[in-house]
Structure 1
Amino acid sequence: MNTISPYIIKKVSWRLLPFLLLMYVLAFLDRANVGFAKAAFQADTGISDAAFAFGAGIFFLGYAFLEVPSNLIMYKVGARLWMCRIMVTWGLISAAMMFAHNEMTFYVLRFLLGVAEAGFFPGVILYLTYWFPHQARARAMGFFYFGAPLAFIFGSPLSGLLLEFDGMAGLHGWQWLFLVEGLLAAVVGVWAYWYLDNRPVNAKWLTQEERQSLQDTLDQEDREKMAHGKSLLKVLTHPGVLYLCLIYMLIQTSVYGVVFYLPTQVAGLLGQKVGFMVGLVTAIPWVCAVAAAYLIPAYSDRTGNRRVTAALTVAVGGLGIAASVAFGSPMLALIALCFAASGFIAVQPIFWTFPSAYLAGSAAAGSIALINSVGALGGFMAPNLKRWAETAFDSTAAGLYFLAGASLLAGLLILAVHRFSPSAPVTRAATPLDTLPGDAHEHAHH
């Protein structure tokens, strides 16, 4: 296989990764800002806790249903046009949330927001395969994963500040929140059309020699993958891929249990309503998550022991959720939330090293999207399971304990990945799924 110049990788990284990171920050902010709006939004509209939980979660039904088709369309038409379409439509729908004055409007707009955003995350993962050779791809993916915690580090104070615009120009604070953050995404979407290039061969900011060298390396990787490929249907129904779908769904259930309720949980700890101060304090766990997202995947790269590292990381996240309600002290509870956010963010870049590294073309687009779409169902389950547990056990803590249990189950399933030995590999005689019993061997691929 050709070896690509580190200078070219560095040039591509500086050009693409900061912009993709900005897109992900806005994506995560627009799906999760409903957690900040929760108290004021419910107070003004009279929407119940159960209706809020359903509306927060219904986003993920539309999102999950269209993930695979969206990614296949991007594979056909190119990232430049499709990422612009995704961001502009989701930004405008997110801004339209300012009109959600009743339950039905809330449900419809949240569902449409999921439909609009479908394909964004797996689209970026696929896009990275167009620009980064395999040996450089894991690091690029880890950088992209900073987006979720950064969305809360910068977005939490912004969301809190916008809530304090209450009454300005006759709008509620939560209306300002949806309007401003939605329009930001739409503007960046238009920018994406002019900024992104579909493939290295289109990149005028690379020299002719750089374009050719990078494209030749990537084309050679794709030829090797295609030579051992299977049909898209066989890939999507492969037992190993479905097993990873289950694990990712449990991880996402835990993630969104934190995301949707962290602002109100912090407000309760501080004894204040959700505003700028709560936004600043809510950012603290996500600062810890950024550090964890850098250090823990780097440790797994260094040691090659991905399974145990990932299992322990997600388990620590689950224990952090449980401890946040078990501790009576607000300071200890906040520290526990730092562990929860850190665990749930840091485990995900490691998780994405488990799917096969040898998928190309529509098989790569489809399988990445399938895992992410099934995982997205965890975002639907989180608020609704939390609400169910609180009602069933007549305890506000029961919901968080339930989510903690989902995290621990995810950790156990990750440990068992090496026992889940598919009889037919996804694309070739050996894949990372098949080589997991020797993590060091799998490490050599990543």
Structure 2
Amino acid sequence: MPRFIVFSVGLLTSVLGSAFTGLAMGVWVFQHTGSATQYSITLLVSLLPGVIFGPLAGALVDRWNRRVLLIVSEAVSAVPVLVLALLYSAGDLQPWHIFVFVGIQSVIRAIQLPAMSASIVLLAPPEQVARANGVVMLAQALGNTVGFAAGGVLYLLIDLNGVLLVDFATFVFNMAILAIIRIPQPPRSDAGQTGSGGLIDEIRAGWRIVATRRTLVTILLFSAALNVSLGYADAMLTPLVLSFASAAALGIVIACMGVGAIAGSLALATWGGPRRRVIGLAGFAIPLGLFLCLGALRPSIPLIVVAALGFTFCFTIVDGTSRNILQVEVEPDVQGRVFATYNMVGGAVLASSYLLAGPVADRLFEPLLLADGALAGSVGAVIGVGPGRGMALLMLLIGVVMLITAVVASQQDSLRRLPDRPVRKTAEPVSESEPATAPSNRVVS
């Protein structure tokens, strides 16, 4: 695993730098414009371009050398950061510059995420892939917690310009790391040869690989259903907490979510997840629904803190298990397209949930649990009435939907027949100069 460890050090550095910049730019846009709408545009632009570009990105990942692609994507990410720093120094930085930069970063992430996920199986032996995923997810969790917190401190100490220059330095560092490690080329498989041709043909082949394998379809539908619930829960959390508690209390809840994600990542990195992968996928999704229901029962910060910790811990196990299944069971030379397909569907579902959650809560659920609402005397007697309790009811229903989704998924033969997580050492992937026949690692269908 030495190459993977070096790879993960560069990844952590880059993720932290991007977290610094992400927070600082969002704060700068809001302070510069005073507009929550402008800030929301920044969030939307950070998501949609990558969703649209996803299928093409997956085909490029499978077609090109993944190490070179990662180096080039880091370089392309670094240049706009430097341009923004120069514009800021000259006093010419405008919000639309930030929007363009965020859009470029979204497209770059659409390439980097499948390239990174598809490279892990080439750097780590099969029995260590689950733990390797835990390390990668730990880096991402640290970026979302330590990175954002440090980004706020850095913004106060060295201003946006300094944060941008720090981010630029992290890109350069990660490019140096990628330049010195070797990421083997994946062996050619029957699926890869069948799907080769022009870019359009390769994009179609990626969709066919997913659509014609029952296990992949089941996992895709399962992940999409969880993302619908996750999107609503994510959008509702902040207004739900602020409906009865302070911003400081919200900060505690968000920090606990980060702690849960870090704990889940550490568990994956050391344990690897359940040997029966259907348990890691559907089994750990059952408490996801239970924790959502728990957090919605009463307007209580301790209750929500417990729910937040448990939810993010279990979600990390579910996400890591899903990645592991794709990495081990799908041929390495088509993983770029498969991961891009999953990322695109997941991003589209999240975006739609973010857009719908607010109107559904405000116009439908909140009026039901006001003091004179239609459900005040029934449901309100259990979870309370007043501002925010309609959102709590929506959260409760989302938890029930997640529970049903997990139970249905756990009964699917395509998931129950998944082989146990590999535990015996197998051969390393072939090197870049050694073409070989693809190993037998097809998905059970």
TM-score (norm 2): 0.69
Is the contact between residue 227 and residue 346 of structure 2 (CA under 8 Å) also seen in structure 1?
yes
Tell me the equivalent position of 1:215: none
TM-score (norm 1): 0.69
- Point out the more displaced range, 257-266 or 144-153: 257-266
1:263-342 alignment, distance < 5 Å = 271-272=246-247, 282-295=254-267, 301-304=273-276, 306-321=277-292, 323-324=294-295, 326-342=297-313
Tell me the equivalent position of 1:84: 71
The 3 A distance-change label for structure 1 pair 310 and 100 is farther
Deviation (angstroms), 1:118: 1.4
1:61 to 48, 52, 70: 48
The 3 A distance-change label for structure 1 pair 181 and 367 is same
Q: List runs of 5+ in structure 2 lacking aligned partners.
A: 196-204, 367-386, 425-445
For residues 81 and 67 of structure 2, the distance between their equivalents in structure 1, rounded to whole angstroms, comes to 21
Quick check: 1:42 aligned with 2:21? no
Tell me the equivalent position of 2:133: 141
For residues 144 and 114 of structure 1, the distance between their equivalents in structure 2, rounded to whole angstroms, comes to 19
* Structure 1 residue identity aligned to 2:416: P
1:16-165 alignment, distance < 5 Å = 16-26=7-17, 33=23, 37=26, 41-42=29-30, 44-49=32-37, 52-93=39-80, 96=84, 107-165=99-157
Tell me the equivalent position of 1:244: 219
Q: Counterpart of 1:197 in 2: which secondary structure?
A: coil
For residues 313 and 418 of structure 1, the distance between their equivalents in structure 2, rounded to whole angstroms, comes to 10
Is the contact between residue 50 and residue 107 of structure 2 (CA under 8 Å) also seen in structure 1?
yes
Q: Which has the larger radius of gyration?
A: 2
* Structure 2 residue identity aligned to 1:162: L
Deviation (angstroms), 1:25: 4.6
Quick check: 1:345 aligned with 2:316? yes
For residues 73 and 192 of structure 2, the distance between their equivalents in structure 1, rounded to whole angstroms, comes to 32
Per-residue CA distance 1:191-234 (angstroms, 9 max, x = gap): 3443333328xxxxxxxxxxxxxxxxxx7xx46x5389753352
For residues 228 and 137 of structure 1, the distance between their equivalents in structure 2, rounded to whole angstroms, comes to 21
For residues 278 and 177 of structure 1, the distance between their equivalents in structure 2, rounded to whole angstroms, comes to 28
For residues 382 and 159 of structure 1, the distance between their equivalents in structure 2, rounded to whole angstroms, comes to 27
The 3 A distance-change label for structure 1 pair 107 and 406 is farther
For residues 120 and 185 of structure 1, the distance between their equivalents in structure 2, rounded to whole angstroms, comes to 15
Q: Counterpart of 2:330 in 1: which secondary structure?
A: coil
Q: List runs of 5+ in structure 1 lacking aligned partners.
A: 1-8, 201-218, 422-433
- Point out the more displaced range, 321-330 or 357-366: 321-330
* Structure 2 residue identity aligned to 1:74: V
Quick check: 1:191 aligned with 2:176? yes
Tell me the equivalent position of 2:6: 15
* Structure 2 residue identity aligned to 1:88: A
Tell me the equivalent position of 1:378: 349
- Point out the more displaced range, 370-379 or 322-331: 322-331
Quick check: 1:226 aligned with 2:169? no
The 3 A distance-change label for structure 1 pair 262 and 270 is same
The 3 A distance-change label for structure 1 pair 321 and 417 is closer
* Structure 1 residue identity aligned to 2:168: L
For residues 20 and 241 of structure 2, the distance between their equivalents in structure 1, rounded to whole angstroms, comes to 18
* Number of aligned residues: 386
For residues 330 and 105 of structure 1, the distance between their equivalents in structure 2, rounded to whole angstroms, comes to 39
The 3 A distance-change label for structure 1 pair 90 and 238 is farther
Deviation (angstroms), 1:404: 6.5
Aligned residues with identical type, % of pairs: 12
For residues 242 and 269 of structure 1, the distance between their equivalents in structure 2, rounded to whole angstroms, comes to 41
Is the contact between residue 225 and residue 405 of structure 2 (CA under 8 Å) also seen in structure 1?
no
For residues 183 and 63 of structure 1, the distance between their equivalents in structure 2, rounded to whole angstroms, comes to 21
Q: Counterpart of 1:145 in 2: which secondary structure?
A: helix
Is the contact between residue 288 and residue 342 of structure 1 (CA under 8 Å) also seen in structure 2?
yes
For residues 259 and 338 of structure 1, the distance between their equivalents in structure 2, rounded to whole angstroms, comes to 14
For residues 185 and 264 of structure 1, the distance between their equivalents in structure 2, rounded to whole angstroms, comes to 34
